[in-house]
Structure 1
Amino acid sequence: MKRLLIADDHDAVRSGLRAVLEQRPGWEVVAEASDGGKAIAAAIESRPHVAILDFSMPRMTGVEVARRIRNYPLQTEVLIFTVHNSSLLAHEAFEAGARAFLSKSDANKLLLAAVESLLLHRPFSSGVCPNEFDSRRLGGDDGKNRPLTPREQLVVKLVAEGYSNKNISVILNLSLKTTEAHRAAAMHKLNVNSTAGLVRYAVRAGLVDA
């Protein structure tokens, strides 16, 4: 029996994915999660063969979940799926340890193929090449327009979700000074000077739902 995990903050999406996946004989969804923290706990407990993670989840992105899962000896293959079909996001997903990247618009026709590929330990990507970079996000001698680090992305995501610097420090187990430094670095790289600017970026980048 092939064990699968689904993580998405929308009940309807998880139900729909479960219905599609469990049509395949020998596949079973053994765990579901509604946010990144629960996804990590569910993966450790259920040890799935494949974890299907939404990129945009509360408190922690699917990419960050993939990165943390990689630190455990789980032998779990990770698929990131998202509404944002971006080569940059695909690159980040593969860099974090995911082996498949799938646009939600392609899920109906490609989800089973993607999972089958992962079960054979083969990478899978729809519509984008994970090795491509968006040149508009690179370069700049002053540090502006360069990609955010994973920790900076996570801080921006939490800011966009309404958390204060103090709360973010608790969530990420950082000092307040370090959190503020990550936030300032992200604002500099993105060339924004307000929380609203960070929120707009988070929505465009798919870190949070619009």
Structure 2
Amino acid sequence: MIADDEPLIRAGIRMILTSDPQIEVVAEAVNGREAIDLARAHAADVVLLDIQMPVLDGLSALPELRRAAPMTKVIVLTTFGERENVLRALEHGGAGFLLKDTAPAELIRAVRAAAAGDAYLSPAATRHVVEQLASGREAARAEEARRRLTALSEREREVLALLGEGLSNADAGRRLHMSEATVKTYVSRILAKLNCENRVQAALLARDARL
């Protein structure tokens, strides 16, 4: 099923899909509300769902469509490839995300993949997901680093922050108005409390914690 409010776009998609003898277009919807009703009525294997449509946009219709026709796979097809759209589509159970400048052969591959139960993301959408996962890992590292730093006193945190800047013991001492020997003592305590083997590990921890 194709859900798009532009007749020319629907006609173009239909022409591409029906060029494959194993694909049949069973219905066309012009808005998100109609897409939900037609998906329930036709039990389509795959729905190509546009984002920007009247009455109910695609991303808002997606979770309700998935509830109305849980066996139907939904590929979000849009001109808007912003990261937020990609992630919302996947969070709401979308089986794929394609931009409208996708090559015809890729559109057919995506429909086949979704029908087979696989997810299909365009290269641009894949990049968004990878970036989001990377930022998630970064957030997890920051949270873990901050948790470990709770073992430090305020003064030890100040010394660690300077280690994170790459300062030597002497330079850190001048910054904090302490002797080099005193800074060295603080560094030893910091390494022990944080279970770090050397000052480089401690500096990386300070960076992860955004100290």
Provide TM-score, normalisation by structure 1. Answer: 0.59
1:39 to 35, 49, 56: 35
Normalising by structure 2, we get a TM-score of: 0.58
1:101 to 76, 97, 104: 97
Question: 2:147 aligned with 1:128, yes or no?
Answer: no
- For 1:71, the equivalent position in structure 2 comes to 67
- Which amino acid letter does the alignment assign opposite residue 121 of structure 1? G
Superposition RMSD in Å: 2.0
Give the strand-richer structure, 1 or 2.
1
Q: Given residue 119 of structure 2, which amino acid in structure 1 is its aligned partner?
A: P
- 1:76 to partner: Cα distance: 0.2
1:118 pairs with 2:114: yes
The Cα shift of 1:84 comes to 1.2
Q: How many residues align?
A: 132
1:80 corresponds to which of 68, 76, 81: 76
Task: State which of 83, 87, 90 in structure 1 corresponds to 2:86.
Answer: 90
Give yes or no for contact 1:44–1:74 (8 Å, CA) kept in 2: no
In our comparison, the structure showing a higher alpha carbon Rg is 2
Q: Is residue 36–residue 68 contact of structure 2 (8 Å, CA) maintained in 1?
A: no
Structure with the largest fraction of helix: 2
Secondary structure of 1:115 counterpart: helix
Tell me which stretches of 4 or more aligned residues in structure 1 moved more than 4 Å.
none
Deviations 1:162-195 (A, max 9, x none): xxxxxxxxxxxxxxxxxxxxxxxxxxxxxxxxxx
Separation of aligned partners in 2, 1:61 and 1:88: 15
Distance 1:32 1:107 in 2: 21
Identify unmatched segments of 5+ residues in structure 2: 136-211
Q: Percent identity?
A: 32
Higher RCO (Cα < 8 Å, 6 or more apart): 1
